[in-house]
Structure 1
Amino acid sequence: MTLTPSTAPPVTAGKPAAAGAGQRVQSAVVTYGFIFVTVALFAFFSLTEPTFRDSATLLDTLRYVSVAAILGLGVTLTLAVGGMDMSVGAVAGLGVTVAAKTMVIYNQVGAVAVLAVIAAGALVGLVNALLIVVLKVPDMLATLGTLFVIQGLKLILVDGQSISPGMTLDDGTTAPGRFTEGFLSIDRGTVAGVPISVVIFAGLTLAAWIFLSRTRWGRVLYAIGSNPEATRLAGVRVGAYRTLAYVLSGVLASVGGLILASRIGQGDVSAGTSQLLEAVAVALVGTSVLGRGKPNVWGTALGAVLIGVITTGLTIKGLPYYTQDVVEGAVLILALVFSFTLSRGNRR
């Protein structure tokens, strides 16, 4: 039967519009989903726990996450070149040990300890670069190996014991030095009421953003991560830039170690162990911010804030510490879904 215009089925105009609306919603979820999760959790804890809204609590939250955030910035730099630095937590712990030994055992001032810690971090970054760039060891395997070496080295440097002022040395004498007031102020001091560690976190975040997004070096790092062979054929010294990324990661991890040493006030041999997973998490989750799907500094910073909000909020609510990892992990997975699963479906 031939259909005349009067008998032909009508075209449903609403379907294309509905499909377009669905795509816009999904696109918005992909772009702003991570930010929405952070804001929603912040609002929930603020409404249900009045103490969460206190400025002191918020500053303490930022102070708590400053170490993981700074380590995460280092991981972000290595992700930008298509790699991954798994040694950042161990480097931070090494920084704690070096700082303590420099001031307590060798009786040096805080400035010397700062230089020694940063030099140690840069050295580890060079070792990682040697393994990865020169010896062609895969990034994760090389930095995991470095992680285990550093953990053992920390114990060797201090004979397996934590360093604290007034401790008895092997020769029976008392350790002559102590953590200086200036060094302790790195985490315990404030500037206009803001903890110095938070100021350092904010300053390094801004500097890393300018470096990655507003300089030629940063654009080259992203180009290497996207297509290293094409970048090499364009005349770029890929190995030198990858070395730069790992050295900067080591330096940033050592800065996190300085803050951690100032916070602890002693050379705890277990320091830094728990920082690796949080640093990697904030860097990976940061890729979901604004649907970019690539490492970015502001995403890493917001990832750190999300972890801080979760940890502080659950602590105020009195949840047992062993439940916090479960909730934290679930929220992080949800944020990653916004970045990877939904964005992949959106591209289709």
Structure 2
Amino acid sequence: MTTLDESALPERATIQDNTSEQRGSLGAALRAGAVFLLLGLMVVGFALAEPAFINISNLMSILQAVSVVAILGAGVTVTLAVGGFDLSIGAVAASSVMAASYAMIVWQLDAFATVPLVLAFGATIGLINSLLIVRLRVPDLLATLAVMFLLSGLQLIPTAGRSISAGLILPDGSKAAGAYDPAFLLIGRYSFSATLPMSVVLMALVALVLYVLTERTRIGRLLFATGGNEVATRLAGASPARLKTLAYVISGALASLGGIVIAARVGRGDVSSGGSLLMDAVAAALIGFAVLNLRRPNVLGTVVGAVFVGVLLNGLTMLNAPYYTQDFVKGAVLVGALALTYGLGRNGDR
């Protein structure tokens, strides 16, 4: 009869534990870098299929195309950090396009007056959102949705639903005498060293400032604490109401900055501008949850998410994929990112 060597059991158990730990560490590393790995594979695949994809001019055009989405997504990220959600950012950006155009075409203001005015407009909308949410206790989704509808209609009233460009005929029959300030147009059209667009620099600056604010300062820690446990925030000596107000004001101001970039790029106040900005910005912010397997809102992840979607859509366009498949592709990427973050990540933690 075979006897069991009990002295070998602890050694076997130790080997099994070490193997499980190694598998767990490898799985965690794969989940943390999955988005970057997929992004790298996409770049290589598109470059092999279409060599022009890897040209520096095309890569910069991708960054320029996603810059506004990343800026708006950064605002969404801040509101997600406090446990909220800003559905009005697309409408704020579109209204800012119209406001900037109206200020220069109708009021004949220059760039140095228009930019602060439009940024103040966005911050004011953010303040209104926070008053509805914090003071009147309206749920954030309902409050920002109501403001979205309000702005979508309000931006059409001053021009009777017309787009704004030089020579605009106003509702009273008069003709606007203003024009776009060339200095304003540089915001959306100027490139440093003929390769680095101004809008990409603005995106990088916004990402850097918000990264430092949210990840390296006490205010950032309190923002996340507010989203997780408001009682803990109060015990830390901070006001959740003020922190939420700060988050929505930042979101509104960034949405206006995105609108300014769009207006400077197209050189007119188009009533259809900003149509898909909300969904694209939200998608970038949510894909960001999967970056580095953080499973929480983070500015770095949002920028990476915006670039991820931009690379994917640009590559598909260069391969002549039908335009009507783009929304499906974005949805599939979002579903995959959320599954990676919450499904595979949870299974890997067991």
Bucket of the pairwise TM-score, normalised by the shorter protein = over 0.9
Aligned to 2:47: 46
C-alpha displacement at 1:24, in angstroms?
Answer: 3.1
Greater CA deviation, 257-266 or 164-173?
164-173
Matched, 1:167 2:149: no
Matched, 1:329 2:331: yes
Give me the whole-angstrom Cα distance separating, in 2, the residues matched to 1:222 and 1:315: 38
Question: Counterpart amino acid of 1:281?
Answer: A
Per-residue CA deviation, residues 322-348 of structure 1 (Å, 9 max, x unaligned), is 012222221232222221111111222
Matched, 1:28 2:20: no
Report if the CA contact (8 A) 1:64-1:308 is conserved.
yes
Report if the CA contact (8 A) 1:67-1:256 is conserved.
yes
Aligned to 1:112: 113
C-alpha displacement at 1:199, in angstroms?
Answer: 0.6
Aligned to 2:140: 139
Q: 1:215–1:8: structure 2 CA closer, same or farther, 3 Å change rule?
A: closer
TM-score, length-scaled by structure 2: 0.94
Q: 1:274 aligns with which of 273, 276, 280?
A: 276
Aligned to 1:28, the other structure's residue is in SS state helix
C-alpha displacement at 1:8, in angstroms?
Answer: 12
Aligned to 1:340, the other structure's residue is in SS state helix
Give me the whole-angstrom Cα distance separating, in 2, the residues matched to 1:223 and 1:9: 48
Greater CA deviation, 28-37 or 125-134?
28-37
Give me the whole-angstrom Cα distance separating, in 2, the residues matched to 1:17 and 1:198: 46
Give me the whole-angstrom Cα distance separating, in 1, the residues matched to 2:330 and 2:19: 35
Greater CA deviation, 327-336 or 215-224?
327-336
Aligned to 2:189: 188
Match runs of 1:216-227 below 5 Å = 216-227=218-229
Aligned to 2:247: 245
Question: Counterpart amino acid of 1:346?
Answer: G
Give me the whole-angstrom Cα distance separating, in 2, the residues matched to 1:78 and 1:39: 30
Q: 1:257 aligns with which of 256, 259, 282?
A: 259
Q: 2:341 aligns with which of 322, 339, 342?
A: 339
Aligned to 2:156, the other structure's residue is in SS state helix
Q: 2:204 aligns with which of 196, 202, 218?
A: 202
Give me the whole-angstrom Cα distance separating, in 2, the residues matched to 1:9 and 1:50: 59
Report if the CA contact (8 A) 2:159-2:171 is conserved.
no
C-alpha displacement at 1:101, in angstroms?
Answer: 0.6
Question: Counterpart amino acid of 1:229?
Answer: V
Give me the whole-angstrom Cα distance separating, in 1, the residues matched to 2:260 and 2:38: 31
Considering only aligned residues, what root-mean-square deviation do their CA atoms show, in Å? 2.0
TM-score, length-scaled by structure 1: 0.94
C-alpha displacement at 1:170, in angstroms?
Answer: 3.0
Aligned to 2:171, the other structure's residue is in SS state coil
Per-residue CA deviation, residues 157-205 of structure 1 (Å, 9 max, x unaligned), is 3211111111223343321011111111111111223110111001111
Report if the CA contact (8 A) 1:76-1:300 is conserved.
yes
Q: 1:15–1:214: structure 2 CA closer, same or farther, 3 Å change rule?
A: closer
C-alpha displacement at 1:29, in angstroms?
Answer: 2.6
Question: Counterpart amino acid of 2:243?
Answer: Y
Report if the CA contact (8 A) 2:160-2:171 is conserved.
no
Give me the whole-angstrom Cα distance separating, in 1, the residues matched to 2:140 and 2:174: 44
Give me the whole-angstrom Cα distance separating, in 2, the residues matched to 1:17 and 1:172: 80
Aligned to 1:178: 179
Give me the whole-angstrom Cα distance separating, in 1, the residues matched to 2:172 and 2:157: 17
Question: Counterpart amino acid of 1:318?
Answer: N
Report if the CA contact (8 A) 1:26-1:342 is conserved.
no
Aligned to 1:156, the other structure's residue is in SS state coil
Give me the whole-angstrom Cα distance separating, in 1, the residues matched to 2:99 and 2:336: 38
Match runs of 1:16-165 below 5 Å = 19-165=20-166
Aligned to 1:4: 3
C-alpha displacement at 1:9, in angstroms?
Answer: 11
Greater CA deviation, 187-196 or 71-80?
187-196
Report if the CA contact (8 A) 2:163-2:269 is conserved.
yes
Which blocks of at least 5 consecutive residues in structure 2 are unaligned? Answer: none
Give me the whole-angstrom Cα distance separating, in 2, the residues matched to 1:297 and 1:172: 47
Greater CA deviation, 231-240 or 58-67?
231-240
C-alpha displacement at 1:22, in angstroms?
Answer: 3.5
Per-residue CA deviation, residues 106-135 of structure 1 (Å, 9 max, x unaligned), is 111122211221111011000000011111
| Alignment length (residue pairs) | 347
Report if the CA contact (8 A) 2:134-2:241 is conserved.
yes
Give me the whole-angstrom Cα distance separating, in 1, the residues matched to 2:244 and 2:140: 11
Report if the CA contact (8 A) 2:159-2:170 is conserved.
no
Q: 1:247–1:6: structure 2 CA closer, same or farther, 3 Å change rule?
A: closer
Greater CA deviation, 96-105 or 266-275?
266-275
Aligned to 1:211: 213
Aligned to 1:126, the other structure's residue is in SS state helix
